[in-house]
Amino acid sequence: MSAQLFGLLVMGLFGYLVAHILFWNRARPVFWFTMALIVVGLGYLATTPTPAELVRDIIGSPAWLN
């Protein structure tokens, strides 16, 4: 798994969990709008080296991470 993909996965899961905790039981349309914004944000971040840099700064460079 590449560092880029791993970073996007971690950021996406964290964003989903925060949105779910804050908006799922209160306002479902706001939750779905938040999810759309998270997807757009992750799409933008996929074009930058930021997720890979974030992963390498936090966990280093293990063998399973190319």
Return the domain boundaries, the chain.
Answer: 3-59
Q: Check residue 14 and give its pLDDT.
A: 96
Long-range contacts, 5-14 (Cβ 8 Å, 24+): 5/51, 6/51, 6/55, 6/65, 7/45, 7/50, 7/51, 7/52, 7/53, 7/54, 7/55, 8/42, 8/45, 8/46, 8/51, 10/51, 10/55, 11/42, 11/45, 11/51, 11/54, 12/38, 12/42
* Parts of the chain with a pLDDT under 50: none
Instruction: Locate 56 and state its tokens.
Output: 């390498």
pLDDT tens by residue, 30-48: 999 999 999 999 999 999 9
